[in-house]
Amino acid sequence: MHIPIRLIKKDAAQVLGLSVDGLNKTMKKDPTFPKPYKTGTTKQAHVYFDYADLVTWHDNQKQQTAA
């Protein structure tokens, strides 16, 4: 299975098992959630999430729940 390094919002939500709305709520509620980044300076520039950052955040959430 090929996992891209960067994910668009829809794909980031899917990787985490969330809807896009659920991802938006998580981003607003959790200050530790990885911030998306833009590939350009224009308003139309694509916004991406780093896959490794999402995995790290998810692993931290699992550890906090287990503690």
What domains appear along the chain, each with residue ranges and CATH number?
A: 6-66 (1.10.10)
Q: Which residues contact 53 (CB under 8 A, 6 or more apart)?
A: 34
pLDDT reported for residue 67: 72
CA 45 to centroid of chain Cα atoms? 17
Nearest alpha-carbon partner for 1 in 17, 15, 20, 18: 15
0.95 exceeded by pTM = no
Report pLDDT digits (tens) over 1-29. Answer: 577 899 999 999 999 999 999 999 999 99
Share of the chain above pLDDT 90, in %: 76
Mean pLDDT, the chain, whole residue set: 92
- From the DSSP assignment, how many helices (H) and strands (E) are in the chain? 3, 3
4 vs 63, higher pLDDT: 63
Tell me the average pLDDT across 31-38.
96
